[in-house]
């Protein structure tokens, strides 16, 4: 029983570590932005929604609208999950 409890706690900590990573928004292509974030599984609809929200917020500051361009898997690890990249154009 202790071993199963330990395994469950380890699994939860791995999921919490992957979810706790911040969303990183940086300028990328001319007139666009790149959103990177760690997800348990790429592509993930929830992660895409988080990336859309981050891109929309950043583009609204500049006075534009975010338009999705492309996504890609950047990195895969056992402890953090998968790092995804989402590219957006900021249209006026």
* pTM for this model (two decimals): 0.72
pLDDT digits over 47-56, tens only?
999 999 999 9
Taking the C-alpha atoms of residue 5 and residue 43, their distance in angstroms, rounded to an integer, is 30
CB 15 within 8 A of CB 40: yes
pLDDT digits over 52-89, tens only?
999 999 999 988 899 999 999 999 998 889 999 999 99
């Amino acid at each position: 029983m202790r071993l199963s409890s330990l395994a469950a706690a380890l699994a939860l900590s791995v999921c919490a570590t992957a979810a706790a990573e911040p969303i990183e928004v940086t300028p990328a292509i001319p007139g666009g932005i790149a959103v990177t974030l760690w997800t348990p599984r790429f592509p993930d609809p929830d992660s895409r929604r988080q990336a859309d929200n981050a891109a929309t917020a950043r583009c609204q500051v500049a006075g534009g609208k975010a338009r999705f361009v492309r996504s890609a898997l950047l990195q895969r690890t056992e402890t953090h999950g998968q790092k995804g990249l989402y590219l957006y154009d900021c249209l006026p």
